[in-house]
Structure 1
């Protein structure tokens, strides 16, 4: 097994392990903590060195897949040529069982490398979509929590505004009652004062204008 095939194998194992870890529900962890962990992982993955290393690994895996396809094509063409020769000369296309075993082992290893490289490339796409979906779910949960907190604050503000409005209406209803009481008392005081003025003005007028008093005075003078 060459070094490129080993890289492909270990990459596939790492991808499968990561995918299994991401399948575990993390609802027991707070949303903010999960989002912080995702942001930290995104910062690591967006680093230049990590990006270039991942690109190189993907190129290696893609090269292994292309190489295995070419080997399988060559083996398939050799197999068809051997079958055509055996049909013409009425003998098997392999001279010995050892050559047949070597041919089958090459075919097996080529097929194995093709499956490993193809599965590794497929798991790369699956992991990308899985991580993206998890991040979107975390964003939705975070927005839901923020909406709940804003709704709670709005309810508290509405309750405070309703209480203040009720107190203002109570004060306004109490103010006209007190003003009406003061106006009635002032109007009663004004009427009393007017009565006193009228009584005082009537007393001297009656004493000066009475004809009996004037006639009595004239009689005394005579």
Structure 2
């Protein structure tokens, strides 16, 4: 891989590690302090700004890789027509066929790499926002329910008809937790897809001949 695609791969690994870190179950107080630090730290804000610029460049690389895959497909189709409508495997012979197949393989690999990186960045952003929302709702529920220090205040709220508000907050919290579970399932599918692509790439390197991705 070229240097910039190697950097994209490293960013993808960092995103995977960050996602695992976000979904690790932690005590409420510790999680609240951690996310408060992340949301208020100026260095993190600057890092997020530069990451946005980086993702713009990755988007450009993704568009370029899609364009390259399209051009290789057009080249293969044109070669098949010139050879009397034969199959793609027999359209280009010898060294030319290996060269075109290699270009197609690397273009598809780069397309998947950039695509997975961009997709996981969206999942991370959505997960981060949802976790902040869950923390806010949990804090509001604790305020309404009360602890050992404010049990009297909770009783007053209950007498004033606040249980309906508590039920609404609990329902909203349950919906947010369900959305988080759905994101975890999507991330697991993304991991499996990327592992499959990595295995195909490793096999092609061991055999010495690029293989067509399915």
> Is 2:152 aligned against 1:153?
yes
8 Å Cα contact 1:4-1:61 kept in structure 2: no
- Structure with higher Rg: it is 1
Aligned-partner Cα distance in 2 for 1:107–1:156? 68
Task: Select 1:110's aligned residue among 107, 114, 117.
Answer: 107
Would you say the 8 A contact 1:86–1:93 is kept in 2? yes
Inter-partner Cα distance in structure 2 for 1:70 and 1:115: 13
Residue 219 of structure 1: aligned partner: none
**Within 5 A, what are the aligned runs for 1:109-128?**
109-128=106-125
Query: How big is the shift at 1:126?
Result: 0.6
Deviates more, 1:5-14 or 1:58-67: 5-14
CA RMSD of aligned residues (A): 2.6
**Alignment correspondent of 2:61:** 64
Tell me which of the two structures has the higher relative contact order, counting C-alpha pairs closer than 8 angstroms and 6 or more residues apart. 1
Question: Does 1:34 pair with 2:31?
Answer: yes
Alpha-carbon distance, 1:98 to partner: 2.0
Q: How many residues are aligned here?
A: 151
Preserved contact between residue 69 and residue 104 of structure 2 (Cα < 8 Å): yes
Describe the superposition over 1:184-212 as per-residue Cα deviations: whole angstroms up to 9, x where unpaired: xxxxxxxxxxxxxxxxxxxxxxxxxxxxx
Partner of 1:22: 22
State the TM-score, normalizing by the size of structure 2. 0.62
For the 8 Å contact 1:4–1:64, the answer to whether it is kept is no
The answer on 1:135 being equivalent to 2:132 is yes
1:79 aligns with 2:83: no
Structure with the larger helix share: 1
Contact 2:39 2:45 in 1 (8 A): no
Following superposition, the deviation at residue 47 of structure 1 comes to: 5.1
Answer whether contact 2:66 2:111 (CA < 8 A) is retained. yes
| Structure 1: tracts of 5 or more residues without a match | 158-222
Q: 1:5 to 1:144 in 2, by over 3 A?
A: same
Which 5+ residue runs of structure 2 have no aligned equivalent?
157-214
> How many Å separate the matches in 1 of 2:104 and 2:5?
15
The residue that corresponds to 1:7 in the other structure is 7
Shift of residue 46 of structure 1?
A: 7.3
How does the TM-score come out when normalised to structure 1?
A: 0.60
The CA distance in 1 between the partners of 2:45 and 2:153, in whole Å, is 45
